[in-house]
Amino acid sequence: MRPKKKEQKKKMLYGIIGLGRFGFALAEELAAHDCELIVIDKDEDTVNAAAAFTDNAYIIHGLTKESLEQVGIQNCDVVVVGIAEKIDVCILTTLHVKRLGVKRIIVKAMTAEQGDILEMMGAEVVFPERDMAVRLANRLVAPNLLDFISLSDDVNIIEIEVTEKAAGHSVLSLNVRRTYNLNVIAIKRNQQVEIDFSPDFVLKAGDTIVVIGRTENIRRFEEDL
């Protein structure tokens, strides 16, 4: 019996409407990961620049349901709408994409009220500027904090640099779970990420600990580290 050929996984198709700084950077990064893209903007120069990394770059001046359908946006698995500055256009475009049957729609929003409306329409909402501001604020108030990912209002994943005070201690001896109710999920050393470390793993200054837990507990840990 001949072995069955392994079926190739179908590539996801992403649509990006609006190639401002957010949309263009997102499209460029997805293209770098060899993703299939449809990108749309009204600015010819911007679309021409995007054509360097996707064959499906389109100039559309009026984002109607018909114009979106003509370029095949309905075939996308995910569509990102990045035109938050014009709230009416953003909402109407999201409605058109939804009516074309796209299952997952992610929309950039500028205000909480705009986000509420978009969520009521069934879209996922992102606030790039606000999220970046929150991450920067956390880094400013916690000098040892290197990066910050919010999972909910009070649960975060944080990268914290190991100080001289903690250097030489093992993961176990820090008592992170017992003292701070946090979980260490990874340790970075020399650009290498360790996830299968033992409790006896000895930390060095300059290492990075990646922990998950509640904000107040992370803050106590960072202050003591």
Q: Is 166 left (phi over 0), alpha (psi -120 to 50) or beta?
A: alpha
> How high does pLDDT run on average in the chain?
84
Sign of CA dihedral 92, 93, 94, 96: positive
Q: What number is the average pLDDT over the span 167-193?
A: 85
Query: Residue 81 half-sphere exposure, CB side, CA atoms within 13 Å?
Result: 31
The CATH number for 131-224, chosen from 3.30.70.1450, 2.40.110.10, 3.20.20.150, 3.50.50.60, is 3.30.70.1450
User: How does strand 183-189 pair with strand 192-194?
Assistant: antiparallel
| 134 pLDDT above the threshold of 80 | no
Predicted pLDDT of residue 101: 95
Q: What is the CATH number of domain 13-126?
A: 3.40.50.720
Q: What number is the average pLDDT over the span 138-153?
A: 57
- Cβ proximity of 155 and 213 under 8 Å: yes
| 141 pLDDT above the threshold of 70 | no
- SS3 at position 102: coil
Residue extents of the structural domains in the chain: 13-126, 131-224
pTM: 0.65
Confidence of residue 50 (pLDDT cuts 50, 70, 90): very high
Hey, which residues does 13 pair with through a beta bridge?
36
Predicted pLDDT of residue 186: 85
Predicted pLDDT of residue 144: 55
Could you list the beta-strand ranges (E) of 118-218.
124-126, 145-150, 155-161, 183-189, 192-194, 208-214
